[in-house]
Structure 1
Amino acid sequence: MPTERITFQGHGGDTLAARLDLPEGPHLATALFAHCFTCGKDIPAARRIAARLAAMGIAVLRFDFTGLGHSEGEFANTTFTSNVADLKAASAFLESRGMAPSLLIGHSLGGAAVLRAAPEIASAKAVVTIGAPFDPGHVTHNFGEALDEIAAKGKAEVLLGGRPITLGQEFVEDVRAETLGPIIANMKRALLVLHAPRDEIVDISNATQIFTAAKHPKSFVTLDDADHLVTDPSDAEYAAEVITAWAGRYLKLTPPAPPIGAPEGVVRVKEADPNGFLQDIQNGPYHHAVADEPLAYGGTNRGMSPYGFVASGLGACTSMTIRMYARRKGWPLEGIAVDVTHDKVHAQDAETAKDTRVDRFKRRICFEGNLTQDQITRLLEIADKCPVHRTLEKGAQIETELALCPEMLKDMGEG
């Protein structure tokens, strides 16, 4: 996904650093991501969620709050209220570019900030929280003995999620005074609550309180064994998958007409993990799949191999073609099952790149219904007329051209 490095003014005039992840295809909507207050815009979970949303056509703005990451200012001088103001400033910046956010995502205290800001961001239609506290003051129990030092000296360094951060007395007082219950109850936005049962920083009871306080439409999904920062790539992938599937229901994305020469639209494949083989496959905003290789070949086995997709295409096309014919004839075909096997291993062939034999796909087709033998025989003949079958049987011409992506253009001095 193309990423634009941008800056905008925060609540107090400090310059805040941000990344705007843009879709490679049509821009259908915009999301605003608020990270936890002990991390930054580049945490793995934020990057993975942004990549998946961008593949759907949803641009994502990730920014560092005042005094965090690459943003100017002193975080010790901020409060929960001022961080909410930063969030609204980010929304106003997007609106000034004609990209008012319709989806708000917040992680940890960033999630609490999103809940607090949502009613004041008119363009927002849906809100997602990840490991967020219902009562922002809840997090102060993690400050331990530092609370006494903060009271005595006005500020102190505390550890949150294993990371040091300097907090001031005003932040502690402000976060303790915040009450989100009434705000959540009157938010009037679709809500998705994600939380890990074993979260040691923000107990999952907070998610229950947020969910209970909210009115429908609302959803609650647990992140199983994830830690508070969602550092495990598989947990980040799961969170991204849930958010993108859920967001499509409430944002009502409308893709443009397919380009000339591609009646079914463009299938875009994007590498999701440069350390393995995981690939995002996107066809329009709603159709997503992942491709991968088995563990034995260096993959993470989170999706079918490329050969698996070829076999599934053959099986799906076979079943659809048979169904269309039987429906037209009015035959009592009640169900179809197609098993497809292929006698090659993609990872092995990718390494050898040798054309040693003709590919062989084997189909086993099962029909349900009170069909005559003549009808069964005819349906098996129709199976061979499915378009994918014909494509595989005859072969296809593949044309390849180089597309200069934004990063390549930068390297060439053109961007």
Structure 2
Amino acid sequence: MTAFRIEGAEGRPLTARLDLPGTEPRAYALFVHCLPSGTGSAAEVVTRALTAAGVGVLRIACDRPGEFTTERGFGATVADLVAAARRLRRRYAAPTLLVGHSHGGTALLAAAHRLADVRAVVTIGAPSGPPHADLSDRIARLGAALLVLHSPVDAEVGIEHAREIFEAARHPRSFLALDGADHHLTGTADAAFAASMLTAWAVRYLPAPAAAEPEEGRVVVAESGAGPYGQHLTAGHHALTADEPPPAGAGSGPSPYDYLLAGLGACTSMTVRMYADRKGWPLDGVTVSLRHSRVHAADCADCETTSGRIDRIDRVIRIDGGDLDDEQRARLLEIADRCPVHRTLRSETVIHTEAAPPRA
């Protein structure tokens, strides 16, 4: 996440944040919302879903909702969003996706015709227009695919607004009901559903990800915007997430120590399987359960360290195979200690760190 300062159309500063995926973005989105912010909020969930799909997200919160009701205020808001999109274009690339919640969605509908690169627009619980203007002609000439998300029980912006937006638009257009959700998507499941649906719909209108072959053996980790510590991990063609559990983090993925244990467990199982297959032994399956803890060194009879605390990993290996004899089972347990990750953890490891140039 990067603070992104923008000078609005009338010279007033706009404070935004830019969330980037762990790899080169396939596209950029302008996300304007009237949602609560903070760990686990709907704004975070939507942003995280888009960045996981390779989309950079410039996020702007509606901090002047009263301006929506006046012609001058609404016009200034629209001009500010156009200025934000142009600033994003100069710094990175033009947004091809617009996502707007509530009044933010209405303002983006009014601004879209001034943003030539936009391919798709998503509204979430958006009014069909400000009190002083009819946007039906603007919506009809949107020139981009449209997805309307709205809850039938939205108590702040009635479902009739979704109908008016949808009927004014031309194809391609889609509507999806957020059944049971409130206006601000405060339900965790509601926010996750809206985020997953709009992302799945939007990516078909965005450029395909770069086809460059990832470097074998390199893992790239970058902040995901999911709470204070959420991370997006890329390993080859695989996209993963990491986080700290609540209350410190948002729990959006396994913790770093979970990944450490997973690496050791996977390596253990693979090593046992390879050995059994090479010997032709009747191994039906391997299950490895692991737990990490910190214990007093004085409680470890085989440790060189005698004071303070040390790291301990308890590993339980279940070897299934009714035709294996006791000697074969004992040998497979010995082989488990020879897995490469096990050896790395037990050996001297050098971690070399250097600074990369900052993003331009």
Residue 302 (structure 2) aligns with = none
Instruction: Name which of 226, 229, 240 aligns with 1:288.
Output: 240
CA distance in 2, matches of 1:326, 1:180: 68
Residue 159 (structure 1) aligns with = none
The AA in structure 1 aligned to 2:313 is D
CA distance in 2, matches of 1:345, 1:234: 35
Q: Give yes or no for the alignment of 1:17 onto 2:17.
A: no
Q: Give yes or no for the alignment of 1:188 onto 2:145.
A: yes
CA distance in 2, matches of 1:110, 1:364: 55
Residue 142 (structure 1) aligns with = none
Q: Give yes or no for the alignment of 1:340 onto 2:340.
A: no
Q: Which TM-score applies when normalising by structure 2?
A: 0.64
1:372 Cα deviation from its structure 2 partner: 7.2
Q: Which TM-score applies when normalising by structure 1?
A: 0.57
Instruction: Name which of 194, 197, 202 aligns with 2:157.
Output: 202
The AA in structure 2 aligned to 1:76 is T
Cα distance change on mapping 1:204 and 1:379 into 2, 3 Å? farther
Q: Give yes or no for the alignment of 1:6 onto 2:3.
A: no
CA distance in 2, matches of 1:373, 1:364: 13
Contact persistence 1:33–1:106 (CA under 8 A):
yes
SS of alignment partner, residue 231 of structure 2: strand
Q: Give yes or no for the alignment of 1:267 onto 2:267.
A: no
CA displacement 1:25-50 (0-9 Å, x = unmatched): 665232112234xx899996546655
Residue 164 (structure 1) aligns with = none
The AA in structure 2 aligned to 1:361 is R
Residue 76 (structure 1) aligns with = 70
SS of alignment partner, residue 313 of structure 2: coil
CA distance in 2, matches of 1:240, 1:209: 23
Cα distance change on mapping 1:290 and 1:131 into 2, 3 Å? farther
1:200 Cα deviation from its structure 2 partner: 1.6
The AA in structure 2 aligned to 1:344 is S
CA displacement 1:1-52 (0-9 Å, x = unmatched): 221312142xxx565624252548665232112234xx89999654665577
Residue 32 (structure 1) aligns with = 30
The AA in structure 1 aligned to 2:71 is N
Residue 156 (structure 1) aligns with = none
The AA in structure 2 aligned to 1:178 is S
Residue 363 (structure 1) aligns with = 317
1:385 Cα deviation from its structure 2 partner: 5.4
The AA in structure 2 aligned to 1:292 is E
Contact persistence 1:315–1:340 (CA under 8 A):
yes
After superposition, residues 155-174 of structure 1 pair within 5 angstroms as 171-174=130-133
The AA in structure 1 aligned to 2:64 is L
After superposition, residues 214-293 of structure 1 pair within 5 angstroms as 220=176, 222=178, 225=181, 227-230=182-185, 250-254=206-210, 263-268=217-222, 272-274=226-228, 278-283=229-234, 287-293=239-245
Contact persistence 1:102–1:251 (CA under 8 A):
no
The AA in structure 1 aligned to 2:117 is S
CA distance in 1, matches of 2:105, 2:95: 16
CA distance in 2, matches of 1:64, 1:23: 17
Q: Give yes or no for the alignment of 1:94 onto 2:88.
A: yes
Q: Give yes or no for the alignment of 1:308 onto 2:265.
A: no
1:361 Cα deviation from its structure 2 partner: 1.8
Residue 161 (structure 1) aligns with = none
Cα distance change on mapping 1:405 and 1:121 into 2, 3 Å? closer
CA displacement 1:146-194 (0-9 Å, x = unmatched): xxxxxxxxxxxxxxxxxxxxxxxxx52414x63687567x7336x4x55
SS of alignment partner, residue 34 of structure 1: strand
Gap runs ≥5 in structure 2: 296-306
1:244 Cα deviation from its structure 2 partner: 6.0
Contact persistence 2:31–2:59 (CA under 8 A):
yes
1:101 Cα deviation from its structure 2 partner: 0.7
Cα distance change on mapping 1:204 and 1:302 into 2, 3 Å? farther
CA distance in 2, matches of 1:241, 1:104: 16
Cα distance change on mapping 1:273 and 1:110 into 2, 3 Å? closer
Question: What percentage of residue pairs aligned between the two structures are identical?
Answer: 37
1:106 Cα deviation from its structure 2 partner: 0.6
Cα distance change on mapping 1:316 and 1:224 into 2, 3 Å? farther
Cα distance change on mapping 1:59 and 1:301 into 2, 3 Å? closer
Question: What is the Cα-based RMSD across aligned positions, in Å?
Answer: 5.4
Cα distance change on mapping 1:271 and 1:21 into 2, 3 Å? closer
Cα distance change on mapping 1:202 and 1:338 into 2, 3 Å? farther
Cα distance change on mapping 1:306 and 1:98 into 2, 3 Å? closer
CA distance in 1, matches of 2:115, 2:258: 44
Residue 303 (structure 2) aligns with = none
CA distance in 2, matches of 1:229, 1:173: 24
CA distance in 1, matches of 2:173, 2:15: 31
CA distance in 2, matches of 1:2, 1:200: 34
CA distance in 2, matches of 1:188, 1:319: 48
Contact persistence 1:32–1:101 (CA under 8 A):
yes
SS of alignment partner, residue 261 of structure 2: helix
Instruction: Name which of 392, 399, 405 aligns with 2:345.
Output: 392
Contact persistence 1:194–1:207 (CA under 8 A):
yes
